[in-house]
Amino acid sequence: MEATALEELLREHPDDVDAWRAYGDSLRERGDARGTLIELERRRAHAVDAAEGKELTDEIALLVAEHQESWDAELPSGVTVEARRHGFATKVAVEWSDEAPALIEEALRGRFVTALRIRPGDDPEGEEWGHDEEHYDENGPLTPPPIEADALATLRLGRIVALDLSYFRIGDPGAEALSAAASGGRIETLDLRYCAIGDAGLTALAASPNFAAVRRLRLQCNAVTGEGARSLGGFRHLTELDLRYNPIGEDGADALLAAPFIGSLTRLLLYRDDVSAAGVKKLASAPQLPTALRSYWRSV
């Protein structure tokens, strides 16, 4: 199989060990040290004892130290690598700015880049917003004005399966813009923690076909209420949902129990104060909630 065909196969099936081995052979033929790295990591995974494993680990470390800088240089300047596999970038990060959309488009051409994080750029509050008690009142987290992010609508995200905007305060306008970003409906993991998103923004995302495949959704510490929780039914394939620090109340608990994904959830992260005492009772007795999750609410 040609190298380009193997690359496409591995983008879709990144755990295919045989395909990686074949790709490693191709890389070695072209003098790419990542071919050697793939073979060394395969041998380490099958090491017969600790001594052999340590020897291979040391050899891998030397190889990576020698070549990692040149491997990462394949990405455009201004892009940082957050995760790698066999020396190749798999998750990249870009700071938001006027130039970010073009930079993101270039970064996503990376051979095995399937995850993107967009970081807030010149944000005086930074990642600390939402952690201090002064950023809360009796209704939950306070949210400062959102960062201008209308250009999110211009992004083309069809090559990724995971999108991370955590701590990027896009607010409802940004979420509505993001809902228009072209993704081909491939994104399975969407991280929107501390993004200052409320009901309108969440409703726009849930209704967008670009995010119809989302299975893991993180919404911790936004401004979602029971009304917004009712829109979550648009994410029909959810298996993991983090709604902590959102005042969804009893209405929100009702909305979750009526959602099409409720029986498929393996993780549901909420606190008692998020759903109220009445909401806890409903979750604890709901037959449609998987047994393990229902048992958790019985103990709250």
**CATH T-level fold of 120-299:** 3.80.10
Q: Percent of the chain at pLDDT above 90?
A: 84
Per-residue pLDDT at 147: 83
The domain segmentation of the chain, as residue ranges, is: 1-73, 120-299
Average pLDDT of the chain to the nearest whole number: 91
Note the pTM of the prediction, 2 decimals: 0.89
pLDDT band at 128 (very low <50, low <70, confident <90, very high): very low
pLDDT tens digit string along 4-27? Answer: 899 999 999 999 999 999 999 999
Per-residue pLDDT at 170: 95
Average pLDDT over every residue of 141-169: 88
Average pLDDT over every residue of 141-148: 67
Per-residue pLDDT at 117: 98
Q: Residue 126 pLDDT more than 50?
A: no
As a three-state string, the secondary structure of the chain is CCHHHHHHHHHHCCCCHHHHHHHHHHHHHCCCHHHHHHHHHHHHHCCCCHHHHHHHHHHHHHHHHHHHHHHHCCCCCCEEEEEEECCEEEEEEEECCCCHHHHHHHHCCCCCCCEEEEECCCCCCHHHCCCCHHHEECCEECCCCCCCCHHHHHCECCCCCEEECCCCCCHHHHHHHHCCCECCCCCCEEECCCCCCEHHHHHHHHHCHHHCCCCEEECCCCECCHHHHHHHHHCCCCCEEECCCCCCHHHHHHHHHHCCCHHHCCEEECCHHHHHHHHHHHHHHCCCCCHHHHHHHHHC
pLDDT tens digit string along 200-238? Answer: 999 999 999 999 999 999 999 999 999 999 999 999 999
Per-residue pLDDT at 124: 45
pLDDT tens digit string along 248-286? Answer: 999 999 999 999 999 999 999 999 999 999 999 999 999
